[in-house]
Structures are given as structure tokens and as C-alpha cells.
Structure 1
Amino acid sequence: MSRPRSSARTRLINAALELFTSQGVTETTTRQIAELAQVNEVTLFRHFGNKQGLLLAVMEESAVFTQLGESLKEQVGQTSNLEQALKKYASDRLKALEQVPEMLRSVVGEAGKYTVENRRALGLSITLANRAFARYLAAVIEREQLSPSIAPEKLASLLNGMLFGYLVIELTSEFHELWEDREDFLDNLVQMCLHGSVSSEDSQQFLNLPLSHQEPETPSKKVADLPATFVHSILQQAKKRGLRDYALAYVLFGTGLLPQEVVALERLHQITDTQEHLLQITQGAIRQVPVNQWIMGKRHGSYTRNPLSQWLKSRKDEQSALFINDATQPLTEAELRNLWQEFTSGLLTPQGEPVLIEQARQTWCVEMLMRGIDLDDLSILSGWDVNQLQPYARRAREKAALERALRADQKT
């Protein structure tokens, strides 16, 4: 049976990418593109208007440009700190764009010939790509509990701008002495993004620490815990998707574990009887954490019968991992983050933003403090030091004050 032929639009985009890459935009004619795509020029003009419109479609839709952006969600779980995340993104972006050097030279050289509409559309596509990178940075920053001096959106813009500048110089000039090689450029670019170009002598000791050991400045730390009704909605949506997703949501909100800690759990790390349900954490801070039956005022089973125990009871595999994917392999952090996005789909925070998986831990921290756990005990349970927990203590006091005020008003 013959394979169905791809659409004329797809063939035109693929043909244009091939010709733009091999001989540049300037030297490529619409007739050449149409011939390679096995359509007539009229079809090209009907779909894209002109060559610049086709160039814009190539940049927006071809795999060379979209594949990297689509992989950012997976990359969050593949990097251990912000420095690694920045360097991996920068390196991957350069590798992807270097696949089309002639096209990039032509894009720079022909920019003045584009119509206002095409320039506006091209600018929008760049903005959308930049926002995707900013969300990636925000997720890593939140995961590492950092307090950046530059907003993720600005940091993403700076980094992307410098990457494009590097490519323009490399593709249009020879024999410069700006940096030794690509690795030298990337190392200095990442260090500048992390620490700025100038630091005081007093702060140098801090800057020389591995990023994963740097403590956030607590006054600027924003706690984004979630309301009880919102948490219950997430748990309900996860429950509808199946036992595994329900168990994942239950563990995230019932233990406050980081995503990388959740995926490292094995069956033997579970300690349970009628009096307690504990998880032994072996990733990061080694500790034991209780699995709470009560989450934001609502009970989810008992120590021996709950969403996690039900998930484990339903399994027929021999995998030692506590959580597995559909192929019965240990769940990866990237897969966990994707599942989180799926069972929180359609839900927006009170600020109108998508909910991040890290907010489950923040919500748990505030809830534990609201229940009366002191900072020292929470430090042991969470693996964070007391300084990192100060913003959560303040947030818990704010919520407690509001509750007391509401109760006082009801009594008058």
C-alpha cells in the first residue's frame, strides 16, 4: 500500500528549507521551490503570498526551528542547576541554527526587503520562542529556589540576543579574535548571565560557590502556594486520569517532595502500617517524610489505604520504581512534569497563570506551618535550611492572620 502524499503546503516548506539551506534565500527563486515541491508557482503564491511569506512559514513550522522549543519541557528534568540549564539551551540552540547557515546569512542580508507585515510576524515568532525559553528558565529557577536579580523574560531575551549575535559574527566574518572557540564563548556567556560582568569583592566568595549551593535572598522570595479549592481540583482531575496520576498528585501535595525526589523513589522506600506512612528519600537531602492523609482540609484514605497504596496494588509488573510510565519503565522527571501539565490542564492560578509543579511543594510547606510544625522540624522534613523557609513562615502568618480576622468579623 503506497504512503499518502504530504500536502502541497508541507512540500513547499520542506523544499524551501532545503534550497534556503543549500544556496541561501537570495539565490533561491520561487520557481525552483515550486519545481522541487512538484507544484506550480501559483500554488506557492496562493499559500504564502511571496518568497518572504514562505521564509516566515519555514522559520515558524519546520522541525529545525520548532523541535528545540518543544524539547524545553523535557530539558527541565535533564539539568541539575541553572548554570547547566543555560549552557545546554545555548549549545542546543546554536547547533540547531547552524544546520541552516546559508539561510541565516540571507535572513540577515535581506531583512530590509521584508514587508512590514512579514517583519511584524517574524518579530512575533521570535517573541513566542523567547517566552517559551523564559518559561523554561522560570521552572528551573523555581525548582532550585533561586532569587534572580533579572526576570526570566529579560534573561531569556539577553541570552537569545547574544546567541544570535554570535551566529551572525561567526557566519559573516573570519579571523576575528573575540573568543578562543565556541566553548569559550558559551562559558563566558553563561557566567555573565549568572553573575553579571562585575562583582564586588565581598560577594566573590558567594559567586564562586556551585549554583546549587547558593542560598536565595529571602526578602525577595515569592511564595506561590495554592488555595485549598485549587488543590482539590488538581487532585480530582488527576483521579479522573487514573490511579497513577492520582497517586502522583497525592504524593506531591502530601509530602512536598521535589520532582527529582519523586522519580527516584522505589517500592522499598515506603514504610507503612496502621500508625504511619513514610517515604525514605534518597535523592538530595537524605531523610524520611510522612505521607499526609489530610491535604488542605480533606482526607484521602488512611495510612494503609490511599491513592498511593491503590496504585501499587493495581500493578502487575516487577519494577522496583515506585512510579513507572506506560512502558513499565521508571518514570523520568521530564515525564512527571509532562503528566503534571496534563492533569492540571485548563486550571489557572488566582493570578491567571498555569500552575507549576513546584507550587505543590510550596503549598505543602505553608500548610505544614499552618498546622503548627515549627521551622526547625520543617527544615528536617523538607531538606531546606531555616533561612530558605523564612518566606514560607511569613506566608503562613499572613494566612493565619486573615483567618483570625474573618473569624473575628463573624463573631461581631
Structure 2
Amino acid sequence: MQVSLAFYAMADQRSTRQRLIQSALELFATQGVTETTTRQIAELAEVNEVTLFRQFGNKHGLLLAVIEEAAVFKQFGQALVRQASETASLNDIYESLKAYATACLQAIESVPAVVRSVVGEAGQYPPENRAALGKGFTQANRYVADYFAMVIEQGHLQTHLPAEKLASLLNGLLLGYAVIDFTSEFHELWHNREDFLESVVILFLNGAFADSQRSLSPVRLAKLESSDSSVISDLSVSLVHSILQQAKKTSLQDYAIAYVFFGAGLSSSEVILLQRRHYISDANQQLLQVGHGTRQVPVNQWILGKRYGSYTRNPLTQWLKSRKDSQLSLFVSDDDQPLLEVELRQRWQTWTNGLLTPEGHPPAIAQAQQTWCVELLMRGIGLDDLQLLTGCDQSTLQPYAQRAKEKTALEQAIRLDQKN
């Protein structure tokens, strides 16, 4: 009996500790470290404040536990190293680095208040807290350095810097982006996060690997060209509806994701950051809050002439009603973790398998957003309004306006011919 009581006491103690850590993380994320009190944390965890002090000493001790037990860097680094065994070319390196960078920023951006607090208050933290932060960064570097070392060896690649330095540069760039993006408003350093990631990875590869451009395959070169905002290639009506039907056959979640792509015009990097609380729906509208809640985008019922449900019953609401997990993310992986961009792209490939554009290419994921923008312009929205919805400047959107004019002129010409 004494052993059993001791066992349950230890289990209860672990449960209390985890509740306090989770409650602290939630409050740090919503209101920052400074504004969060130990009483608030204890109340959310449903324990006595004395218990918090007994477990962690003070708020900084609890913050230390949050940093150490989150193990975010370790998880991303381990996933990156696992991918190295499948890396065969610089195309694969590009995809792996993009996925790693996206996942890191996704994790950091999920708790912007924590980032701002940590940056602003780091000088007030005890040495052990700063050491824990340093340990997390070092841990990330170690795994990313291992990844670089493996792909360099497997691909017999020549680099200008050792693997450790490459890892430090990449992680430094990611952290620098997060600090700038979370501590300043309306900067014009990048159009959006996708623009930053694409630029960093391409520049990083071309600067890190000697003669890397010669190793880029025609597929990769085409991908670089498609990222040019002056080249707009929206998808046809029949192709869009075919993709949506393919997604519907795959799963409820896949159908919901495809619906968000074509109904709200979000990029893949924006989709994976969505949480349940970012979806707002009633009988008259449905909206998604994008970019830390600073921008709202409507989710259209009508997609290229076909209606996909109503505001209260559609692929997205059906997916949410089917959820049995407690994950905050709007879309999740098979193990109920937040969906990564690399997983999202794999799903897109499943939906578009066997489909080709008039140019003979598989539909690219970026074309969903392009299609949405062109459709809205053709339906009468102005460039100023589209700028607010997308967060892009007018110079970026001008090619979309030109494409919409071309399609409108073509439709008018066809109607004239049909009248005759």
C-alpha cells in the first residue's frame, strides 16, 4: 500500500508540474512574461500559488522549466537529420532547409508575446535562464550542423564554410527575422514571411555551396521562376474544381485545406500558422485572422462559379466538427501535431497527381493564391482593397491586375462570338 501511495503521489506531482508549465506557456504567449503573475499561472493550473513556489521557486524558475522542457529546437533538428538520409541533390536540400526554417518560425510565431518578452527582458533574467536559452540555440545548431555535414558528405559537395558555421548563420538569420518582425511594425524589409524564407534559402544555398547553380535541375529552375511575382499563372476553372474534388476524396482535412487555399487565397506558410481561434464564422460571414491576428481575410463560399456550402456548413466547418483532438492548430499532422509546410506540400501533390496545366506542368501550390487574387479582381474588387486583404503592396499586385484584365477581355470576346 505504501508503494502504491508513493506511486500516485509521484504521478500527481508530475501532473501538477506539467499543468503549471502548460499554464505558464499559455499565459506567456498571450500576455507576455512581464504581465503574467504567479497567481494567474496557479489559478489557470488550478493549484495553490504556494505549490508553484515549492515546485519552481519563482516565476523565473518556471520560465526556465518552460524553456528547457519545450525542446522545440531538438525536435526540429532531429527531424532535419532524419531527412538527410533521403537527400540526393540540392533540390532536396532546398526543400529540407525550407521545411526546417518554416517549422522554426512557425513555432516561434505561435508565441510572439513570449519572444517579445524574452528579447526585451533578457537582461533582467538570472544567469541560469540565459544559459537555458543559450543551450536551446546550441542544441539547434548541433542538429543543423549534423545535417549539413551529412548532405555535404553524401553529395560530395564543396562548401565555403564548415558545417557548424553554416548552421550558425542559418539559425542567426531565422532568429533575427523573428526579432525584427515581432518588435517592429510596417517595416518594408520583406513583402511577407514567404518572401523572406525563399530569399534566405536560395541565397544561403548559392552562397554556401561552391558552384551550386550548376547542380540545380530544370525543375528547381522552374520553381525559382514561378516565385517571381511578375509571372502570374492562375489555374483554370476545371482544374481548380478537380483539385478540390481530389482533396475531398482524400480526407475531411484535405478538403478543408484545399477550400482555404482557393476560398481565402492564403499561402502555404500562412495556412500552417492558423489556429482554431483564427476562424470566425456566423450566418453572414466567415473570416480567418492571418499574421498574428493583424489581418482578416474572408473565406468565400463561391469559388470560380461554384458554391461550396454555406458560411455555417462547408468543408472547413465539417472538418472542425469532426475533430477529436485538443490541438490548437487549425490543421494537424497524422500524429495530431501542428501541420508542417513540407507535409502540406505533400498533400498538395496527392491532390494534383495526374493533373496538368495547359503548359503541361503539374499545378504548383503557389498558383492557388494567384488564382484567388485574379478571381477577386475579375469580380470587381479594387487593388487598394486587395492590398489590405493580402498584405502585399500595389507593385506586387499589379501583374495580377493585368492578368485579370486579359481574362476579362477574353471572356468578353467569347461572349460577343456566342451572340453571333
Aligned-pair RMSD on alpha carbons? Answer: 3.8
Q: 1:269 to 1:156 in 2, by over 3 A?
A: closer
DSSP 3-state at the match of 2:372: helix
Secondary structure of residue in 2 paired with 1:288: strand
Give the Cα–Cα distance (whole angstroms) in 2 for the partners of residues 231 and 330 of structure 1. Answer: 26
For 1:245, the equivalent position in structure 2 comes to 254
Q: Residue by residue, what CA displacement relative to the aligned partner does 1:243-301 show, whole Å, maximum 9, x if unpaired?
A: 00000000011001111111111111111110000111135x82101000000111000
C-alpha displacement at 1:159, in angstroms?
8.0
- In structure 2, the residue matched to 1:4 is none
Q: Report if the CA contact (8 A) 1:74-1:335 is conserved.
A: no
Q: For residues 123-134 of structure 1, what are the structure 2 equivalents within 5 Å? A: none
2:305 is matched with 297
Alignment partners' CA distance in 2, 1:64 and 1:298: 41
Judge conservation of contact 2:244–2:258 (CA < 8 Å) in 1: yes
The equivalent position to 1:261 in structure 2, one of 267, 270, 288, is 270
Structure 1 residues 63, 287: CA separation in 2 closer, same or farther (over 3 Å shift)?
closer
Alignment match, 2:22 = none
Change in Cα spacing, 1:272 to 1:158, as seen in structure 2 (3 Å) is closer
Give distance in 2, aligned partners of 1:147 and 1:329: 24
Cα deviation for residue 302 of structure 1 reads: 0.2
Q: Structure 1 residue 75: deviation in Å?
A: 3.2
Displacement of 1:145: 9.6
Secondary structure at 1:277's aligned position in 2? Answer: strand
After superposition, the Cα gap between the structure-2 partners of 1:64 and 1:281, relative to the gap in structure 1 and judged at 3 Å, is closer
Unmatched segments (≥5 aa) in structure 2: 1-83, 103-143, 159-191, 215-226
Structure 2 distance, partners of 1:243, 1:229, is 21
* 1:281 match: 290
Q: How does 1:87-106 map to 2 (within 5 A)?
A: 95-96=149-150, 98-99=152-153
Counterpart residue type for residue 307 of structure 2 = R
Q: How many residues align?
A: 250
Shift of 1:353: 1.1
Partner Cα distance (2:213, 2:95) in 1 = 22
Tell me how far apart the structure 2 counterparts of residues 227 and 363 of structure 1 sit (CA, whole Å): 8
The CA distance in 1 between the partners of 2:198 and 2:291, in whole Å, is 26
Contact map agreement 1:272 1:304 (CA 8 A) in 2: yes
Q: Which of 75, 79, 85 is 2:101 aligned to? A: 79
The verdict on how the C-alpha distance between 1:332 and 1:97 changes in structure 2, with shifts beyond 3 A counting, is closer
- TM-superposed deviation, 1:78: 3.2
Q: 1:322 aligns with which of 318, 321, 330?
A: 330
Residue 65 to residue 144, structure 1, CA distance change in 2 (3 Å)? closer
> Equivalent residue of 1:345, what SS?
coil
SS in 1 for 2:211: helix
Deviation of residue 335 (structure 1)?
A: 1.3
Note the C-alpha offset of 1:333: 1.5
CA 1:74/1:341 → structure 2, altered by over 3 Å: closer, same or farther? Answer: farther
Contact kept? 2:98, 2:197, Cα under 8 Å = no
Match of 1:404 in 2: 412
Question: 2: distance between equivalents of 1:75 and 1:245?
Answer: 24
Distance 1:100 1:302, change over 3 A: closer
Deviations 1:73-126 (A, max 9, x none): 34333336xxxxxxxxx988962365379x899xxxxxxxxxxxxxxxxxxxxx
**Corresponding residue SS for 1:230:** helix
CA deviation after TM superposition for structure 1 residue 313, in Å: 0.4
- Alignment pair present for 1:334 and 2:342: yes
> What residue is the counterpart of 1:311 in the other structure?
319
Q: 2: distance between equivalents of 1:388 and 1:301?
A: 32
Partner residue of 2:211 out of 162, 179, 182:
162
The separation in 2 between residues aligned to 1:337 and 1:217, in whole angstroms, is: 19
Whole-Å separation in 1 of the counterparts to 2:402 and 2:157: 51
**In 1: Cα distance, 2:382 partner to 2:398 partner:** 11
Q: Secondary structure at the match of 2:287?
A: strand
The CA distance in 1 between the partners of 2:87 and 2:282, in whole Å, is 52
Alignment partner of 1:345 out of 350, 353, 357:
353
Q: Please show how residues 37-76 of structure 1 align to structure 2 within 5 Å.
A: 63=85, 66=88, 70=92, 72-76=94-98
Deviations 1:220-260 (A, max 9, x none): x1101000100001000000001000000000110011111
Q: Is the 8 A contact 1:243 1:310 kept in 2?
A: yes
Change (3 A) 1:386 1:163: closer
Contact 1:147 1:217 in 2 (8 A): no
Give the Cα–Cα distance (whole angstroms) in 2 for the partners of residues 399 and 164 of structure 1: 36
Distance 1:92 1:66, change over 3 A: farther
Please list every run of 5 or more consecutive structure 1 residues that lacks an aligned counterpart in the other structure.
Answer: 1-61, 81-89, 106-140, 166-215
Aligned to 2:243: 234
- State TM-score, norm by structure 1: 0.53
Q: What pairs up with 1:361-380 in 2 under 5 angstroms?
A: 361-380=369-388
User: How does the TM-score come out when normalised to structure 2?
Assistant: 0.52
